[in-house]
Structure 1
Amino acid sequence: MTSILITDDDPYIRMLVSRTLQESGYHTYPASGADEALSILEKTTIDLAVVDVMMPGTDGYTLTKEIRDLYGLPVILLTAKGEIRDKEQGYRAGTDDYIVKPFEPKELIFRMEAVLRRYDKPSQQSIAAGEMTIDRTNYDVQVGSTHLMLPLKEFELLALLASRPNRVFSRDHLIETVWGIDFEGDERTLNVHIRRLRARLSPLTQSVSIETVRGVGYKLGVKEI
């Protein structure tokens, strides 16, 4: 189920958006401000964040930039401001869309679906991350000039992590996606596969690495060389 973070200091907006999204089949995580939102992101795999601009303390522009920099997630900004300079500030912060209050809740759903389609591209046959390219059609991983033919589960795990670089995936999400919801093993199986992937990648490149996020899961870190 797609998980949506809703950050707004107005409890009515949080309730309205949360209820609307739940009725459409989304799982929602309401937050009253930036600190609570970042706490949720540290512990939970989120697919998209809906963020209010005008909040006490850390405003929505700053939170949007943090979400983009730390987690690489799509963001939709909600705001009472409709001036072009305000929209410019939102897009410069990294938002994917911008909705001016008051708005129809269903409009938010339409826009969310459009943003998620841009990010969720499992049909993409090629994924590039740093010096690494993953070809889904022939299960080939190329790092620099080296080609790796990985066991199927290792390939699926690496492809999932690489599909959203710098996004944190929870252990439960990785296990359910790669091994299936009926998997009878435990986290040790995941940890073994992660160790094997690290052992294969680390001698070949410094541009990508599988990083542990303590208490949550893993992410594929990507940096410029």
Structure 2
Amino acid sequence: MRILVIEDEPKTAAYLKKGLEESGYSVEVANDGSHGLILAQEEDYDVIILDVMLPWMDGWTVVKTLRATRATPVLFLTARDDVNDRVRGLELGADDYLVKPFAFVELLARVRTLARRGPPRESELIRIGDLEMDINRRRVKRGTMRIDLTPREFSLLQLLARRHGEVLSRTQIASYVWDMNFDSDTNVVEVAIRRLRSKVDDNFPVKLIHTVRGVGYVLEIKEAA
């Protein structure tokens, strides 16, 4: 079983890695929020242990962004022990919250509980027409053809697929996929949609990703006129 530890304090990170590996887990460590988020989005982990106060990107932002695409169990491990902080962490999508200093045996028990729980099984597959997304394996197919996507393209397609039939604005897409608001003259979303279409639609007679002029984008199967 694999665990990702996102912790910037070297002694704490080393302590967690040593203790968890001695308990039979495979452990990877990220020392800042941005790197941790990339690993969490690109790799499959059974549990993520996440600090709140991190360089480059705080733990709140990490879990909020991650929850747009991944259901990996998250345990906040932080010195912030205010009740409002705990509530905020859980509302953003964390599964558990443990305050430093902590007893390692308690952390281990919580990790084991979260690992048994795992991601919700109902979210494993998304099927729309001949499009199939295997969320846990990060695989996409149309019919029998495998489609290779970058992590960002996968996140974008997953957002459109989960909300198929719903028109999403550029601002909504930017917020969910990049966790940022882009200026109106920035074409990052358009470029990402164009690249995704080239992989998902261009080689197939039935197009799935459509532009709603002046509004945004929608993934749906449209009946032929």
Question: Separation in 1 of the partners of 2:110 and 2:32?
Answer: 22
* Letter paired with 2:148: T
1:131-170 maps to which residues of 2 (within 5 A)?
161=134, 165=135, 167=136, 169=137
1:4 deviates by 0.8
Unaligned runs of 5+ in 2: 165-225
1:79 equivalent in alignment to 2:15: no
Deviations 1:33-81 (A, max 9, x none): 1122123235432222110011233111111112222322111101112
Relative to 1, partners in 2 of residues 1:19 and 1:85: Cα closer, same or farther, differing over 3 Å?
same
Alpha carbons 1:9, 1:55 under 8 Å: kept: yes
Counterpart residue number, 1:5: 4
Counterpart residue number, 2:162: 223
Question: Separation in 1 of the partners of 2:62 and 2:32?
Answer: 9
Deviations 1:176-213 (A, max 9, x none): xxxxxxxxxxxxxxxxxx65xx216x9xxxxxxx8634
* Letter paired with 1:7: I
1:199 equivalent in alignment to 2:138: no
Question: Separation in 2 of the partners of 1:131 and 1:56?
Answer: 35
Alpha carbons 2:71, 2:119 under 8 Å: kept: no
Question: Separation in 1 of the partners of 2:109 and 2:149?
Answer: 32
* Letter paired with 1:61: W
Counterpart residue number, 1:181: none
1:110-129 maps to which residues of 2 (within 5 A)?
110-119=109-118, 127=122
* Letter paired with 1:53: V
Question: Separation in 2 of the partners of 1:128 and 1:56?
Answer: 31
Unaligned runs of 5+ in 1: 133-142, 145-157, 172-193, 203-209
Relative to 1, partners in 2 of residues 1:82 and 1:19: Cα closer, same or farther, differing over 3 Å?
same
* Letter paired with 2:32: G
Counterpart residue number, 2:98: 99
Alpha carbons 2:34, 2:56 under 8 Å: kept: no
Counterpart residue number, 2:40: 41
Question: Separation in 2 of the partners of 1:51 and 1:99?
Answer: 10
Question: Separation in 2 of the partners of 1:16 and 1:82?
Answer: 21
- Root-mean-square deviation (CA, aligned residues, Å) is 3.5
Relative to 1, partners in 2 of residues 1:25 and 1:91: Cα closer, same or farther, differing over 3 Å?
same
Out of 198, 202, 212, the position equivalent to 2:148 is 212
* Letter paired with 1:212: D
1:24 deviates by 1.0
Q: Percent identity?
A: 29
* Letter paired with 1:33: D
Alpha carbons 1:130, 1:224 under 8 Å: kept: no
Alpha carbons 2:41, 2:70 under 8 Å: kept: no
1:30 deviates by 0.4
Question: Separation in 2 of the partners of 1:211 and 1:105?
Answer: 43
TM-score where L is the length of structure 2: 0.59
1:90 equivalent in alignment to 2:89: yes
- SS of the equivalent of 1:71 reads coil
